[in-house]
Structure 1
Amino acid sequence: MATVGEVMAELATLDDPRIRDVNARHGDDHGVNLGRLRALAKRLKTQQDLARELWQTDDTAAKLLAILICRPKAFERAELDAMLRRARTPKVHDWLVSNVVRKSPHAEELRRAWSADPDPVVASAGWALTTDRVAREPEGLDLAGLLDAIEAEMKGAPDRLQWAMNHCLAQIGIEHPGHRARAIGIGERLEVLKDYPTPPNCTSPYAPTWISEMVRRQGDR
């Protein structure tokens, strides 16, 4: 079994200043190639105690590695809540929600609590979990109510929360034909991310375009 000191030393050897510079433009503060990080995680295998120790270092690469080698169902609700509030960087935040919290038995309870949290970054995690439910397990969700909240709040929301709400808007329009026209209409009125620079061959995050393109692709299958 590797010690936290040994793993941190190995992470230091993987740090690449060029990758660090690229990541810094997106708000992340690590320089480890994610392919190499995943290879290290594969070699270490699941180690819950080591994952907890790596998380406590507060180093971004170590936190990402901790997410890859942890046992998601082993965390208590309060522990996950504290972890999210210490996630700090976008990549750690996103990986924690999608790879750990989503697989936890506490996911639904945290989704409800986080969605109403006054911290917009925490609230964005709640909306990300809601988007996942819209796609995979919509039973019991008030989709019309979600659209009401998006229509009222998304335009003025801080960036990360706005992005998460916009994703939920698009997912509702893509997955639920009965709400599609309203979702597109909300997107057209609010114009959130309408002018977002989108590389060639990528789908715009502007909800009306995103919805229409994904529905078209589903029809092509």
Structure 2
Amino acid sequence: MLRGQRLGCLSIRKGGSVDTHVEAVLAELAALEDPRMRQVNERHGDDHGVNLTKLRGVAKARGTDHDLALRLWATDDTAARLVAILISRPKSFEASELDSMIREARAVKVHDWLVNYVVKKGPHAEELRVAWLDDPDPVVASAGWALTADVVAKRPELVDLPGLLRTIDAEMKAAPDREQWEMNSTLAAIGIHHPALRPQAIEIGERLEVLKDYPTPPGCTSPFAPIWIGEIVRRQSAG
């Protein structure tokens, strides 16, 4: 586990005066709050009610501003943290900062964006992937598995693919929900990108039946690994 100082929740006062830039962002986000959207988001583990397209507009108006991103993150407000991720400079974070942030990112969308928009684009992704995979906190471990799925697709020489399949086979069925989801993503990535291991990946998915009954909207691909693998491979062959 990486050890670093936690960022904590800082005041929105800067240099003894009110941080007007942070307050302006918070005010814009408050004006965009939709109680009905908050209800929907809260069912998915996200405690905010701001339309993400509009939230991206708030971020776009600021451009890249890493210092403001750090101050917005410190507010501990979910919508503000999403803006912070969008305006941050991924390569400017230290590994210890990202380790602290992933432990603070309990909202699902914040966690997902932090991994995909910041960690994957920075220089510490592999170091953090290895550190997080075996973390006792399943939410942190899920970030390690999300990074592993990406490595399986893009840099498979960094991982032991048969070893990953053995771990998934032994642990995915009983894993906590968020960790299970990313382990399943890794299983699907192995089946999609590595034809020699595809039959084994499909067999594991069929036997464990993880996410087999997950409700999938029309037009979307089921996250059940055997279906997911088959559909993506079919599309690749057709293309």
TMscore range, shorter length: over 0.9
User: 1:210: which partner in 2?
Assistant: 228
| Matches of 1:2 and 1:58, distance apart in 2 | 17
Quote how far apart the aligned CAs of 1:140 are.
Answer: 2.6
Q: Which residue identity is paired with 2:62?
A: L
Residue 134 of structure 2 is aligned with which of 101, 104, 116? 116
Task: For 1:156 and 1:15, locate their aligned partners in 2 and report how far apart those are by CA, in whole Å.
Answer: 37
Match of 2:79 among 61, 75, 81: 61
1:141 matched to 2:159? yes
Q: Is the 8 A contact 2:22 2:72 kept in 1?
A: yes
Q: CA deviation at 1:109?
A: 0.3
**C-alpha distance in 2 between matches for 1:202 and 1:28:** 22
Match of 1:170 in 2: 188
Residue 204 of structure 2 is aligned to residue 179 of structure 1: no
Rounded to whole Å, the distance in 2 between the matches of 1:36 and 1:53 is 20
How many Å apart are 1:120 and its aligned residue? Answer: 0.5
2:100 maps to 1:82: yes
How many angstroms apart in 1 are the aligned matches of 2:29 and 2:225? Answer: 39
Equivalenced residues, count: 221
Cα RMSD (Å): 1.1
Q: 1:46 aligns with which of 64, 67, 78?
A: 64
Q: 1:195 aligns with which of 209, 213, 222?
A: 213
Q: In the alignment, is the contact (CA less than 8 A) between 2:149 and 2:186 conserved in 1?
A: yes
Give the counterpart of 1:5 among 3, 7, 23.
23
Does 1:36 find its partner at 2:49? no
Structure 1 runs of 4+ aligned residues shifted over 2 Å read none
Structure having the higher helix fraction is 1
CA distance in 2, matches of 1:62, 1:102: 21
State the partner residue of 1:158: 176
Structure 1 letter corresponding to 2:84: A
Contact 2:38-2:48 within 8 A present in 1 as well: yes
Structure 1 position 135, deviation (Å): 1.1
My pick for the range that moved more, 18-27 or 80-89, is 18-27
| RCO higher in structure (CA 8 A, sep ≥6) | 2
Asked if 1:132 is matched to 2:118, the reply is no
Q: Which runs of 5+ in 2 are unaligned?
A: 1-18
The answer to whether 1:21 aligns with 2:39 is: yes
Deviation at 1:39, TM superposition (A): 1.0
Identity across matched positions, percent: 68
